[in-house]
Amino acid sequence: MLCEASQSIVNNTLFNFNETILVTALVLSRASFKSQIEVIISQLIDLVPLDFRRTIIFTTEAIQSNLIPTAFNTDWFIEYGNASNDYLLRFIPRFYNNGTCNCVVSSTCQEPLQIGPPDLILPGLVVACSPINGLRMSTFE
């Protein structure tokens, strides 16, 4: 999905660039034309990663704001009901940082990734409200 999104952004940007017309009041020398094109291409190269990041942030924020739980329960704990409460499901927000941050309030909550015993922490890896945010915030030391 991420590769398809990035490829789509690059393709759309190239399409828009190829459809752009350079209009000037004066005839440009070859050096001036080349200089202006280099500036336009440099701006294009700078903007593509920003567009991709904006798309990823928009997608993750839209999912979080709609309270859609992740497959790994990193944002919500689900309590399953029983016959006495008509099998009602309760979604309880996950707290991070010793209870000071939860995914309802902030999408940037995180804590070190622990696997197995409580004292086994994987350095550089974090768990966050969504798996993609956890990967983005990890340093992979």
**Tens digits of residue pLDDT in 20-34:** 887 888 888 999 989
Q: Tell me whether residue 45 is in a domain.
A: yes
The tally of domains found in the chain comes to 2
pLDDT at 125: 92
Residues of the chain below pLDDT 50: none
Task: State percent of the chain over pLDDT 70.
Answer: 99
pLDDT given for residue 101 in this prediction: 92
Neighbour-count burial of 39, counting CB atoms closer than 10 A to its CB (0-12 exposed, 13-18 middle, 19+ buried): exposed
Final residue belonging to a domain, choices 25, 41, 65: 65
DSSP code for 66: T
Last residue of a domain, one of 65, 100, 115: 65
111 located within any domain: yes
39 with 8, same domain?
Answer: yes
* Rounded distance between C-alpha atoms, residue 32 and residue 46, angstroms: 21
Q: Are residues 87 and 111 in the same domain?
A: yes
Domain that holds residue 99: 76-137
Q: Which residue has the tokens 């904006």?
A: 54
Q: H-helix or E-strand containing 104?
A: none
